[in-house]
Amino acid sequence: MKVDISLLLERLQTGEVDAEMELMNCVYFELKKIAAKALAGEQREVSLMTTDLVHEAWVRLLDQEGRVRFKNNLHFFGAAAEAMRRILVDRARRRSREKHGGKLVRIGLDDVEIEEPAAASEILDINDALEKLDGIDSRKAGIVRLRYFAGLGFEEIAAVTQYSLATVQRDWAYARAWLKVEIDRSRK
């Protein structure tokens, strides 16, 4: 996240035609890193690769007029991580629905069993618990999003949020414990 994209974001907001392509060129590899971390917990599916997740998130980041509205680099990458999280949650929900065979064992053409990734239910559990935490303490939920979904380190989160490193580490420890308890409670 060393690239300063603030100027490109400003140019994009003013409607400069080439700013979108320049922005994508500047942030593409960083978005791929975020996507790889977001997909790390899932079993690889043929239907969703890192590149696919980046492209789908990119589309979601743009509004109807093709302009993004972000304050700075950190806001942009946080929004990208959130878009990827939502994409994974949406996909997990679709896979879990019975009408899509979410709980059925799949049989391939050669009678080989192909099971749905276990991570789908985990993503949904984390998302539900994270939404509850967001209602209770949005700062801690934001730190979880940056750490878990964007893959940022504690120092990076402190820089992004402008909280002290100690606060970020305390909030992470608390939020992690709270989410574990909440997820365990919801599974009972």
The three-state secondary structure class of 48 is strand
- Nearest in space to 184 (alpha carbons), one of 119, 116, 122, 115: 122
- Give how far Cα 84 sits from Cα of 15, 33, 46, 74, Å: 25, 12, 17, 15
Q: How confident is residue 150, by pLDDT bands cut at 50, 70 and 90? A: confident
Residue with more model confidence, 75 or 116: 75
Q: What is the pLDDT of residue 152?
A: 83
Rounded percentage of the chain residues whose pLDDT exceeds 70: 78
Amino acid, single-letter form, for residue 92: A
* Amino acid residing at 136: I
Segment 170-176 mean pLDDT: 90
- Mean pLDDT (the chain, rounded): 77
Most confident of 42-56, 119-133, 156-170: 156-170
Distance CA 67, CA 134 (A): 27
For residue 112, is pLDDT > 70? no
Asked if 183 and 132 count as a contact pair (C-beta separation under 8 A), the reply is: no
- Classify 12 as helix, strand or coil: helix
What is the amino acid identity at position 33? K
Over range 170-183, report the average pLDDT: 89
Q: What is the pTM of this model?
A: 0.54
3-state secondary structure of 125: helix
Which pLDDT tens digit goes with each residue over 25-54? Answer: 888 888 888 888 877 766 554 456 888 888
